[in-house]
Structure 1
Amino acid sequence: MTEQKKRRPYSSALRQEHAQATRQKIATAARQLMIRKGYADTTMAEVAREAGVAVQTLYTSCPGGKPGLAKLVYDITLAGDARPLPQCDRPEVQAIIDEPDPVRKLARYAAMATAILRRIKPVHRVLRAAAAASPTDAGLQDMLTGIEHERLTGSRGPAEHLHAIGALRPDLPPARAAAQIYVLTSTENFEKLTEVCGWSEGEYEEWLATMLAAALLEHPHDEWLAN
């Protein structure tokens, strides 16, 4: 019994590591196929073959079938890896929380958002195109709607943090601030400014930091907003 108890944490860690690696392989294979071929022309069997897993493993890892697979791709691309670590516990978010100056705090947030948008843009574009081409695909439509609700909910974190430290404008409720963060950090805005308008990612990041400070802070630095 003692020997069995000693082995359990080790075995559990190995299982978790194996599951994480499997999810990463599946997401990488599906992402590459969807970007190359499109969502509609990417099959579950093809993804399983590319990832080197059984089709049943694919369905187990992605509840909900193909929309579930697309959500896995989106989530892992957003996070940057398959670790079961909430976004709020990641080092870049902790660095934002620990930054005492609200303007620099939003500059860090803008840098993090730009890096996420760079990763997620091709995936989001593929899924948007697929949803537009298949308006009756309820699973796909629901998945994209869910993503947007998650983005809006996630935007409440920085809004409520700014409110808690007294940096948010007093006439701006956290829910309204979250809505502004949600819109300013949309993939569509990032695409328009970097692709249509020809801005560099650095220019987008500076714009985002400036807009966030102007929209949210009670006393943004005049020198920052002048840039």
Structure 2
Amino acid sequence: MKPKRRYVSDVRRENAEATRLRIAEAARVLMLERGYAATTMAEVAKAAGVVVQTLYTALPGGKPGLAKLVWDVTLAGDAKAIPQSGRPQVQAIIAEPDPERKLAVFARMALAIYDRVAPVHRVLRAAAAADAGLADLLADTEHQRLKGSRGPAEHLAAVGALRADLSVERAADHIYALTSIELLERLVEVCGWNVRDCEDWLARTLSQTLLETGHTQMPQEAENSR
């Protein structure tokens, strides 16, 4: 009977993930079209094909909880309960033996995430001044992003690539700052850079900031090695 129970559990989990994904996608579309304040739980439930009570049951915290779901799903790209460290993009970074190429892959992942989350972040940021729960959510996402920046810093230290005069904590601060949504947003929207421009700049700047001199190449050398 164990395989049958496991099958039922897997089906339930997949159904729950599918429902969360539908809710998140419906809410994201409505929030981007109308703004956070003008999007109601009833409208999201209708668009997702669920009853309103399902939203309140699945998302503790009401509307800020809905915003958190939209953020989490947009950040990950799906509704699967897989930690960031277990996702293929992160595994590819870990598997890459060359520190500079590690950071190039990391920059590519960071810009792909930025491309997904920037519109959502803009909407939530605009509404946070009038909604304390939403402001708390955005503050928490920043703390989580700083915490998450420690992972790549620790990995570079573990493989002996991190500058000797740079602590893991300070390296994480650099990664957090350089991958800021607001920073990348200004490069794209104010400076007129495209995503590839940002990716190349981020990879080069991370390498020059974090790696021992022997692990880095001059910008032209890095470009020629592509």
What interval of TM-score do these two structures reach, taking the shorter chain for normalisation? over 0.9
Look up the match of 1:181: 175
Which residue matches 1:167? Answer: 161
- Residue ranges of structure 1 left out of the alignment (5+ in a row): none
Q: Which one of 107, 113, 134 corresponds to residue 116 of structure 1? A: 113
TM superposition score normalised by structure 2? 0.95
Partner of residue 9, structure 1: 6
1:96–1:109 Cα contact (<8 Å) kept: yes
Give the alignment partner of residue 219 of structure 2, picking from 211, 218, 224: 224
Which residue matches 2:103?
A: 106
**Equivalent position of 2:139 in the other structure:** 145
How many residues are treated as equivalent by the alignment?
Answer: 221
Q: Which residue of 2 aligns with 1:83?
A: 80
**Which of 192, 196, 202 is equivalent to 1:198?**
192
RMSD: 1.2
Deviations along 1:28-77, whole A, 9 cap, x unmatched? 00000000000011011110010000111111221111111101000100
The aligned runs of 1:48-67 (5 Å cut-off) are 48-67=45-64
Q: Distance in 2 between matches of 1:225 and 1:12?
A: 53
Deviations 1:85-116 (CA, angstroms, capped at 9, x unpaired): 11110111101001010000000000000000
In the alignment, residue 43 of structure 2 is paired with which amino acid? Answer: E
CA contact (8 A) 1:151 1:182 kept: yes
Gaps of 5+ in 2: none
Structure 1: 4+ residue segments shifted above 4 A: none
Determine the C-alpha separation between the residues in 2 that align with 1:159 and 1:224: 22
Q: Distance in 2 between matches of 1:67 and 1:61?
A: 12
C-alpha distance 160-26 of structure 1, shift in aligned 2 (>3 A):
same
Question: In structure 2, what is the Cα distance between the partners aligned to 1:102 and 1:149?
Answer: 26
Residue 15 of structure 1 deviates from its aligned partner by 0.4
Q: Which amino acid aligns with 1:149?
A: H
Superposed displacement of residue 222, structure 1: 2.7
Matched to 1:34, the amino acid is: M
Give the Cα separation in 2 of the matches to 1:17 and 1:65: 23
1:210·1:224 contact (CA, 8 Å) conserved in 2? Answer: yes
Q: Secondary structure at the match of 2:218?
A: helix
Q: Work out whether residues 208 and 216 of structure 2, in 8 Å CA contact, stay in contact via their aligned partners in 1.
A: no
Residues 104-152 of structure 1: per-residue CA shift (max 9 Å, x gap): 00000000000000000000000110113x1xx2211111110000000
Counterpart contact for 1:44–1:66, Cα < 8 Å = yes
Per the alignment, residue 23 of structure 2 pairs with 26
Q: 1:37 corresponds to which letter in structure 2?
A: R
Q: Hey, what's the Cα distance between the residues in 1 that align with 2:203 and 2:3?
A: 50
Percentage identity across aligned positions?
62
TM-score after normalising by structure 1: 0.94
CA distance in 2, matches of 1:165, 1:6: 41
